[in-house]
Amino acid sequence: MIDAAECVVIGSGALGASVAYHLARAGRQVALLDKHGLGSQTSPRAAGLTSQARGTDLMTALARRAVRKIESFAAETGEEIVFHQPGALKIARLPEHVAQLESEVARGRRLGTGFEMISPDEARAKNPFLEVKGILAVGFSPTDLFLEPSQIPNGYARAAEKRGATLLAHTLVSGIVVKGGHVAGVETEHGTIGCEVVVDAAGAWLRAVAALSGTQVPMVPTRHQLLITQPIPGVDNTQPITRIIDANVYVRPDEGGLMLGGYEPDPLQYDPAALPARFDIAELRLDFSVLHRLADSVREQLPIFQRVPHEIPLKVHRGGLPTMTADGEHTVGPVPSVRGLYVAGGCCVGGLSIAPAIGEALAAWIVDGKPPMDLSALAPGREGRIDEAALKQACRQRYAHHYWESVPAE
């Protein structure tokens, strides 16, 4: 245990570990805290795939930067990382999603992602498990990649420690000390750490941690699930990530098997304040019927999953608690009501893959006193006042239309 640090980062998932690393690299004295084992909660249960075809210039630029940082991860951090870079297919089955792909292609051209339209037959040549029936258009992002997800938080945590950061696993935060409207320390079960900067990157518990300072940061932890099959003949890592927009389903190779996950219309939402203090994501209640429904929604394009699990055995069924926001954007930046308190969360089921860029940007903001780009669209408090029922419904809609550029009116 330490008595003081310049910066305390609460939460050692991909976002928190990335912020801690980039602060330590900038010469700041950093403590990285987690009430569980480091990098043990939602991040290692993620899908581990990138997406550079985004709905805004800001998120596209951040996603592109994150891919570049994963490509150079070993050179930058000194930590080895294994990834596969076969690109990603994004499939439209509805006319409005053809227009969405065209918009994303135009944005990709402006921002240099390489996103382009290809034919359904070209898409099938890249992914032999894909059938072209019902496909109206396909976008292809040639540099998207996938990886085993725990490498990012664990790699950044180790790299931060090598640069002088203190890693404090199994350290429950019980309070944030605020004096004169400014952060003055973090109270833990093992004692108080004096500091002038706190980064709340506590994932599903971010909202509860922020509340320790009297701050409200609206977001809703939402269960997300995926499956991975046992190895299937013909699967290899040169086959691209495949997403079907209207069904909100993704598929990618995984150690010779296939991963399938997605975003159901009726997701299970959680109130972290109602969970035990030591609740572990490993205890999360899972429901395979959700994945069965998602697989059924793409049976014409991906019929292979109709054979899971009765013909093709299941290897993994896992889930995590990413946080959703009312507008579907991350929440990153300083909290207006408490000086020195920053937030990195509201990942909207995309935090792991973009964490390298988010952590870099937020650390630069803390060190330089200004953001390296306009991050106002991600600002804490941008929602204004929103009651709990409206927040949950907005988050549910955003989750249920995760790949949709325009969320339908209810």
3 state SS for the chain = CCCECCEEEECCCHHHHHHHHHHHHCCCCEEEECCCCCCCCCHHHCCCECCCCCCCHHHHHHHHHHHHHHHCHHHHHCCCCCEECCCEEEEECCHHHHHHHHHHHHHHHHHCCCCEEECHHHHHHHCCCCCCCCCCEEEEECCCCEECCCHHHHHHHHHHHHCCCEEECCCCEEEEEEECCEEEEEEECCEEEECCEEEECCHHHHHHHHHCCCCCCCCEEECEEEEEECCCCCCCCCCCEEEECCCCEEEEEECCEEEEEECCCCCCECCHHHCCCCCCHHHCCCCHHHHHHHHHHCCCCCHHHHHCCCCCCEEEEEEECCEECCCCCCEEEECCCCECEEEEECCCCCHHHHHHHHHHHHHHHHHHCCCCCCCHHHCCCCCCCCCHHHHHHHHHHHHHCCCCCCCCCC
pLDDT tens digit string along 52-109?
999 999 999 999 999 999 999 999 999 999 999 999 999 999 999 999 999 999 999 9
| Cβ 201 vs Cβ 208: under 8 Å | no
pLDDT at 276: 82
Q: Which residues contact 151 (CB under 8 A, 6 or more apart)?
A: 81, 82
Q: What percent of the chain has pLDDT over 90?
A: 96
pLDDT tens digit string along 306-318?
999 999 999 999 9
| Cβ 222 vs Cβ 323: under 8 Å | yes
- The arithmetic mean of pLDDT across residues 242-255, rounded, is 98
- The arithmetic mean of pLDDT across residues 332-345, rounded, is 97
Q: Cα angle vertex 175, ends 344, 32, to 5°?
A: 45
Other CB atoms within a 10 A radius of the CB of residue 318 amount to 18
The first and second tokens of residue 325, run together, are: 């926001």
Quote the mean pLDDT of the chain.
Answer: 97
The first and second tokens of residue 367, run together, are: 């060190």
Domains of the chain: which residue ranges? 7-45+150-218+326-387, 85-143+221-320
| 70, 219, 233, 281, 380 from 326: Cα distances, Å | 29, 7, 42, 23, 12
pLDDT at 261: 98
Which CATH code, of 3.40.190.10, 1.10.3720.10, 3.50.50.60, 1.10.10.10, is assigned to 7-45+150-218+326-387?
3.50.50.60
- The arithmetic mean of pLDDT across residues 355-366, rounded, is 98
Residue type at 323 in one-letter notation: T
pLDDT at 292: 97
- The arithmetic mean of pLDDT across residues 384-402, rounded, is 95
- The arithmetic mean of pLDDT across residues 204-220, rounded, is 96
Q: How far apart are CA 341 and CA 366, in angstroms?
A: 10
pLDDT tens digit string along 272-321?
888 888 899 999 999 999 999 999 999 999 999 999 999 999 999 999 99
- The arithmetic mean of pLDDT across residues 349-366, rounded, is 97
pLDDT tens digit string along 108-166?
999 999 999 999 999 999 999 999 999 999 999 999 999 999 999 999 999 999 999 99
pLDDT at 231: 98
Q: Do domains 7-45+150-218+326-387 and 85-143+221-320 have the same CATH topology?
A: no
pLDDT at 141: 98
Q: How far apart are CA 37 and CA 274, in angstroms?
A: 21
- The arithmetic mean of pLDDT across residues 222-238, rounded, is 98
pLDDT tens digit string along 375-389?
999 999 998 889 999
Confidence category of residue 268, pLDDT binned at 50, 70, 90: very high
C-alpha dihedral, 25 to 30 to 36 to 39, nearest 10°: -10
pLDDT at 410: 66
- Checking if the pLDDT of 409 tops 80, the result is no
Q: How far apart are CA 126 and CA 112, in angstroms?
A: 22
| Cβ 354 vs Cβ 12: under 8 Å | no
Q: How far apart are CA 262 and CA 256, in angstroms?
A: 20
CATH architecture type of domain 85-143+221-320: 2-Layer Sandwich (3.30)
Confidence category of residue 1, pLDDT binned at 50, 70, 90: confident
